[in-house]
Structure 1
Amino acid sequence: MTPDPVDDATLALLLEVAGTPKPGNVDRHRDLGDLRFEAFLGGAVGAREGLELAAGGEVGIGDAFERGVEGMAARSGTNTQFGCLLLLVPLVRATVAGDGFDDGLSLAVVDRVTRETTVEDAVAFYRAFEHVDVAVGDPPADVDDLDVRRGSDASPALRERGATLRDVMALSADPNDTAISDDSDDSDRVPDRNAQEWVEGFPRTFRAAEWIRSDEGPLTDRAARAFLGLLAAEPDTLVAANHDPETAHETSERAAALLGGERSTREPIDADAVHDADLDAAEELATAFVDEGINPGTTADLTCAALYVALRRGAEVAP
């Protein structure tokens, strides 16, 4: 029997936080201040109703996402998996909307699902920010009225502009759209990786899912190695938002060092390098990142989404 997509999405949320070490993130061995491991377990349970709505198809993706965030926040008491749900909801919808290929999870179907989002999906997405605090950067100056921190107050602007949820994601996906001064160098700006997935068709998610699927050992270890591969491949959005782009790039370089020596963050990461990642050395890096307040949370979101795709494509918890 093919597993239910909502079950797989819930399991992906649980496996992501249970994977260790994921340097700088909560895992089963580490809490971050008041953000505790068990809060993520509660968040996964609380998000289930939103995931069920995504699978059911009776409501839009935006409403399903908002319901998932609301339930997550109610059960965990904080923001545990906002970014994970932003990726999981369209993936679950694509699973049930597909034409049978890979249980619906083809890149083409996922891309179609995001392109079919509406203005009302965007309005619901903005409402979700009223349930939790989310670390976000400032929007481009010419779209200040679409700052997600406005929540429902942004609804008139969204409707006036006719901005769909995918349109909103496109604003964050391209760092060149961000307003900067004439004398600034934007070459090191870090885009929103989750938004990029929406706009580009989830390439990072599917690539990391194959890393996980083709790896060996417990799924929690595979998730930890995939996390390192994703972080090594590209700077993390949350690190850039909480620190600066330079710190985000340095963080990726430190992760890359665990994949077999020095490599450029622009160099593609292959599956063999990920599978050979040194998790013992990653424990030391995890301690260092926590001490330095470095939290690659967007990379954790991508890892969760990759776990979902890997589960749909045959990865199993049982040996």
Structure 2
Amino acid sequence: MRALAPDEVAQAFHAACLAELSALKPGNVHVFAAGHGMETAQFEAAAKAAAPALAAPGPVGRRVRAAVEASLAVAGCNTNLGIVLLCAPLAVAAEGGGPLEARLAQVLEGLNISDAEEAFRAIAAASPGGLGASAEADVRAPASVTLREAMALAADRDAIARQYVTGYADIFALGVPALAGGPLERRRIEDADLAFLATLPDSHIARKFGPGQAEAVRLEAVALRTRLEGLPPSERHAALLAFDASLKARGLNPGTSADLTVASIFAALIEERAAPITVG
């Protein structure tokens, strides 16, 4: 697969963010309903601001910090920290050429302490809900381990951190396959989000409300997926919207599932745009 130019990476990232907002992802902000004190306009502005920073040539950590700072400046709150943490390594991998998963593995293996320092500053600035402290790798203290090593310390409790350790195994096993087989339409994006929500207890919910609540929401998502099978589009939409309203009424935001969905879309778009160009 061919290497992508920075402008192509920026376009793919921006498109992935907007595509995710177009789908009805229960409990998250989307074009059908706001939520948790945030509107789609904030996410749209953050995506536009982050795209060039994420695609600017440089190491992963620098891209993370620049993209988060650009997003905070226009959105006024944390809208895309998880998205940026997941998409920065993919962006670097896309610019290297070759099979995406293999190139990504090389990028993750090459992360260093400088990447951790830059990412820690971004995480502290964004101040995500439920952020705690770790004696081994406190984001408010100078980094003493590489970014991948820091992620490994949180991998058992955070799905975003786990991707850094597993080579994005969940994204390539759950998200990308759900998007395959046709145009990047809203239903496929909703299926990708539900694949994460019904398989992985959402890390954002777990940080704020505990693992028991995250597991309860996962089981609700499993039941919803079963109920959606065979429903006509209007009834499917109504069922998703009802679950969306229920989660928001309880203050439950499965933000990690949404972040993983954006990264899956980004990966799928990279692979599509990096396909060899043939002259027929």
With the length of structure 2 as denominator, give the TM-score of the two structures: 0.87
Residue 312 (str. 1) matches residue 278 (str. 2): no
Match of 2:45, SS state, is: helix
The correspondence of residues 29-108 of structure 1 with structure 2, limited to 5 A, is: 29-53=32-56, 56=57, 59-99=58-98, 101=99, 105=100, 107-108=101-102
Contact kept? 2:36, 2:248, Cα under 8 Å: no
1:230-282 per-position Cα deviation (integer Å, ceiling 9, x unaligned): 11011000011111111100101111112226xxxxxxxxxx99xx9944322
Q: Which has the higher contact order (CA 8 A, sep 6+)?
A: 2
How far apart in 2 are the matches of 1:293 and 1:136?
13
For 1:209, the equivalent position in structure 2 comes to: 176
1:262-304 per-position Cα deviation (integer Å, ceiling 9, x unaligned): xxxxxxxxxx99xx99443221111100111110000000000
Show structure 1 runs of 5+ residues with no match: 175-190, 262-271
Contact kept? 2:43, 2:79, Cα under 8 Å: yes
For 2:138, the equivalent position in structure 1 comes to: 147
How far apart in 1 are the matches of 2:267 and 2:115?
23
Contact kept? 1:210, 1:310, Cα under 8 Å: no
Residue 8 (str. 1) matches residue 12 (str. 2): yes
How far apart in 2 are the matches of 1:47 and 1:137?
22
Contact kept? 2:81, 2:123, Cα under 8 Å: no
Contact kept? 1:50, 1:71, Cα under 8 Å: yes
Residue 247 (str. 1) matches residue 218 (str. 2): no
Equivalenced residue count is 264
Residue 200 (str. 1) matches residue 166 (str. 2): yes
Measured on the aligned residues, the alpha-carbon RMSD in Å equals: 2.3
How far apart in 2 are the matches of 1:110 and 1:218?
23
Match of 1:24, SS state, is: coil
Identify if the C-alpha distance between structure 1 residues 51 and 137 changes in structure 2 by more than 3 Å, giving closer, same or farther.
closer
Identify if the C-alpha distance between structure 1 residues 49 and 130 changes in structure 2 by more than 3 Å, giving closer, same or farther.
farther
The correspondence of residues 253-272 of structure 1 with structure 2, limited to 5 A, is: 253-260=219-226
For 2:277, the equivalent position in structure 1 comes to: none
For 2:255, the equivalent position in structure 1 comes to: 297
What is the CA distance between 1:217 and its match in structure 2? 6.2
What is the CA distance between 1:34 and its match in structure 2? 2.7
What is the CA distance between 1:33 and its match in structure 2? 4.2
1:184-236 per-position Cα deviation (integer Å, ceiling 9, x unaligned): xxxxxxx100000011000111221121122x566222111210111101100
Show structure 2 runs of 5+ residues with no match: 274-280
Match of 2:180, SS state, is: helix
For 2:200, the equivalent position in structure 1 comes to: 234
What is the CA distance between 1:83 and its match in structure 2? 0.3
What is the aligned-residue identity percentage? Answer: 29
How far apart in 2 are the matches of 1:124 and 1:92?
16
